[in-house]
């Protein structure tokens, strides 16, 4: 059990790391196999590096698809200049594009109920322009999740997330969408282009 958890966590870390780290691990498997195994078993030993090679390819593909810093900054500036009505409409449209059924909520803590595959998520976005996203926003979102029996929550912000809020979000599995991820989510909606 502990090994499986460590394995999952290693792959999770590698999926957030640079592609060349995973490629290096795959090559290390091949080199160690070449050095330590008889020639007839080299292929089987080198196959141990295939998961790392796959992760390297995924990371490289994501890196090549990622928008440039200039595009991210321009999109975030456009988002920051929007009034709530326009921002919420773009957010709802992006969620529909991602396959969610979107229902507007009239709650102080959550703005949308998202339904997909039998799961219900709550999304909070009203404080997207706040310079700092604090703990109280996420705590009230968590209360709303428990009240409405939602499976998880999403909070959207372009501001800085405090350390306490980030810890609370991780502990309660609240996804915080900000920065590059927010720009990638809304850019196709704002530009009218299909998602990449």
Structure confidence by residue, pLDDT tens digits, 121-157: 999 998 888 889 889 999 999 999 999 999 999 999 9
pLDDT for res 67 = 65
Q: How high is the pLDDT of residue 20?
A: 87
pLDDT-derived band at 7 (thresholds 50, 70, 90) equals very low
pLDDT single digits (tens) 50-93: 999 999 898 888 777 766 778 888 888 999 999 999 999 999 99
pLDDT reported for residue 71: 80
Are the CB atoms for 126 and 105 separated by under 8 Å? no
What is the predicted pLDDT for the residue at 147?
A: 93
How do residues 148-168 score in pLDDT, each as one tens digit? 999 999 999 998 999 999 999
Can you tell me the mean pLDDT for 86-112? 94
Q: Given a cut of 80, is residue 34 above it in pLDDT?
A: yes
Q: Quick one: CA torsion of 115, 119, 125, 130, rounded to 10 degrees? A: -170
Helix (H) or strand (E) holding 154: strand 152-156
Measured in residues, the chain has a length of 196
Hey, how many other C-beta atoms are within 10 angstroms of the C-beta on 56? 23
Distance CA 151, CA 177 (A): 17
pLDDT tier, 180 (very low <50, low <70, confident <90, very high otherwise) = confident
Q: What are the phi and psi torsion angles at 14 (to 5°)? A: -65, -30
Percent of the residues in the chain that have a pLDDT greater than 70, as a whole number: 92
């Amino acid at each position: 059990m502990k090994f499986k958890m460590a394995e999952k966590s290693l792959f999770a870390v590698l999926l957030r790391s640079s592609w060349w780290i995973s490629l290096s691990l795959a090559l290390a498997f091949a080199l160690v196999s070449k050095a330590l195994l008889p020639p007839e078993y080299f292929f089987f030993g080198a196959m141990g590096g295939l998961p790392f090679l796959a992760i390297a390819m995924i990371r490289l593909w994501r890196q090549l698809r990622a928008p440039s810093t200039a595009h991210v900054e321009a999109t975030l500036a456009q988002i920051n200049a929007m009034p709530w009505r326009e921002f919420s409409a773009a957010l709802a449209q992006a969620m529909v594009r991602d396959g969610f059924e979107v229902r507007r909520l009239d709650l102080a803590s959550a703005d949308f109920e998202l339904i997909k595959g039998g799961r219900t998520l709550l999304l909070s976005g009203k404080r997207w322009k706040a310079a700092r996203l604090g703990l109280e926003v996420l705590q009230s979102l968590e209360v709303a999740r428990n009240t409405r029996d939602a499976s998880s929550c999403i909070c959207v912000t372009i501001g800085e997330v405090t350390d306490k809020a980030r810890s609370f979000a991780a502990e309660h599995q609240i996804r915080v969408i900000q920065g590059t991820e927010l720009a990638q989510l809304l850019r196709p909606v704002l530009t009218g282009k299909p998602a990449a």
